[in-house]
Amino acid sequence: MGGGDIGIHKKVYFGTNTKMFKTPSEAVEHIRQLKELTRSISRNEIGLFVIPSYTSLHLAIPAAGDDILIGAQNMGWEERGQYTGEISPLMLQELGVRMVMIGHSERRHIFHETDLEEERKVKCAIDHGFHTLLCVGETQIQKEYGIGQEALSTQLKIGLHSVTAEEARRHLWVAYEPVWAIGTSGVPADEHYANKMHRMIKNTLIELFGCDIGNAIPVLYGGSVNNENAVKLVCQPEIDGLFIGRSAWDADNFDSIIRASLHALHTN
């Protein structure tokens, strides 16, 4: 997948991070509904994932079965140690978690995680065989000063510093989430701007891992995706999927976005 081809042969990724919003029972209900609603969509066509809170993971995994990949919202970079409040790769592995998100904008900006910390977490996640979703995005100020590209390239080059091309091919996904586009005060990125930034991300991935692998790593767009803009975004040639917050927390709405996106990709 990736590489800019649009059409029914391109696998499209749809995922949601439920942040600190759903209790375990709410998370399971959401996943059950989503699984049921999307039952008729071939998993060769879509990659579907949900990233609930740590406390929901043990229930979310059996509820999701093979239809929905379940990820963790963060992870510590050591297997064990004196890190009160952290969750290690061994703990996630024992629950059957297969995906980990690293460097979400809220981790970087509210909890002040640095690129060097993201690098350690990415390395640890990849060493433990997780699908690793690294989130990157420029701030409003960086955009205004015309250094969005530099900001993305810095986050990618530091965050992926210790990843080999083969590891990237097997384990790495990237989410482009401009900080100014995320959450209730976010303004969704225009699809052409998002497409341009995705191309820049892919160019950096090519620099790091070579052309074939750099182009094949899925790069998803996130930040105020909703029913109005999802189709325009997903139809852009460099956008390999949508990473959605609020608009995906209602399973019916998430299913409508997925179906509208697939319909548009098929008819384009």
Residues labelled as active-site residues: 104, 177
Q: How far is the CB of 180 from ligand PGA (least distance, A)?
A: 10
12-17 vs 241-244, strand pairing mode: parallel
Where b means 16+ CB within 10 Å and e means fewer, 41-76 reads beeebbbbbbbbbeebbebbbebbeebbbbbbbbbb
Position among 155, 245, 255, 258 found at the interface with ligand PGA (CB under 6 A) = 245
Position among 52, 89, 103, 222 found at the interface with ligand PGA (CB under 6 A) = 222
- Does 218 participate in binding ligand PGA (rule CB under 6 A)? no
What is the distance between the alpha carbons of residues 213 and 202, in angstroms, rounded to a whole number? 10
Q: Give whichever of 25 and 227 is closer to ligand PGA, judged by the CB atom.
A: 227
Position among 177, 191, 238, 255 found at the interface with ligand PGA (CB under 6 A) = 177
| Stretch of 6-14, 25-33, 62-70, 180-188 lying at the interface with ligand PGA (CB under 6 A) | 180-188
Position among 76, 178, 214, 223 found at the interface with ligand PGA (CB under 6 A) = 223
Number of residues that bind ligand PGA (CB under 6 A): 13
| Stretch of 86-94, 179-187, 211-219, 255-263 lying at the interface with ligand PGA (CB under 6 A) | 179-187
Looking at residues 16 to 75 of the shown chain, list those that interact with ligand PGA (rule: CB under 6 A). Answer: 17
Q: Give whichever of 28 and 220 is closer to ligand PGA, judged by the CB atom.
A: 220
Rg of the chain (C-alpha set): 17
- Does 186 participate in binding ligand PGA (rule CB under 6 A)? yes
| Stretch of 2-10, 86-94, 203-211, 222-230 lying at the interface with ligand PGA (CB under 6 A) | 222-230
Position among 225, 230, 233, 262 found at the interface with ligand PGA (CB under 6 A) = 225
Using DSSP's 3-state secondary structure scheme, residue 190 falls into coil
What is the distance between the alpha carbons of residues 194 and 219, in angstroms, rounded to a whole number? 11
Phi, psi of 126 (to 5 degrees): -70, -40
Q: How far is the CB of 245 from ligand PGA (least distance, A)?
A: 2
> Nearest Cα to 242, choosing from 226, 256, 228?
226
Q: Give whichever of 103 and 148 is closer to ligand PGA, judged by the CB atom.
A: 103
DSSP state, residue 70:
E
Residue nearest to ligand PGA (CB): 245
Phi, psi of 50 (to 5 degrees): -130, 135
Position among 12, 28, 63, 182 found at the interface with ligand PGA (CB under 6 A) = 182
What is the distance between the alpha carbons of residues 143 and 77, in angstroms, rounded to a whole number? 30
Residue 80 to residues 71, 84, 101, 118, 124, Cα–Cα distance (Å): 20, 10, 19, 18, 12
Q: For tokens 């996943």, name the residue.
A: 31
Residues engaged in binding ligand PGA (CB under 6 A): 17, 177, 182-183, 186, 222-225, 243-246
